[in-house]
């Protein structure tokens, strides 16, 4: 878990109250990841996972034990 517990609680409370805004979201940064927004799979076996982060400046990657599904357009 990369999140700071206090910050995560503040974010969750603001989300539930309908007051979550950009400054609060941008201030919530983990040690390695910064607001993960998407996960995609790639590589020949679709086991390389790519995580996109709103506040990050690079893609985090890891080898997944489970392969992603091929995109539908591969079979058109």
pLDDT digits (tens, 9 = 90+) for 42-69: 999 999 999 987 777 788 899 999 999 9
In whole numbers, what is the pLDDT of the chain averaged over residues?
A: 85
pLDDT score of 3: 64
Measured between alpha carbons, how far is 18 from 12 in angstroms, rounded to an integer? 10
Average of pLDDT values for 2-24? 84
User: Which DSSP category does 71 fall into?
Assistant: P
* Torsion sign over Cα 16, 17, 21, 26: negative
Is pTM beyond 0.85? Reply is no
Contact criterion met (CB below 8 Å) for 41 and 63: no
Of 71, 44, 74, 42, the C-alpha closest to 59 is: 42
């Amino acid at each position: 878990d990369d999140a700071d517990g206090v910050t995560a609680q503040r974010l969750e409370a603001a989300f539930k109250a309908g007051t979550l805004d950009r400054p609060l979201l941008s201030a919530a940064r983990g040690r390695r990841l910064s607001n993960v927004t998407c996960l995609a799979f790639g590589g020949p076996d679709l086991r390389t996972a790519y995580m996109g982060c709103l506040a990050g400046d690079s893609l985090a990657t890891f080898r997944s034990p489970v392969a992603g599904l091929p995109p539908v357009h591969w079979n058109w």
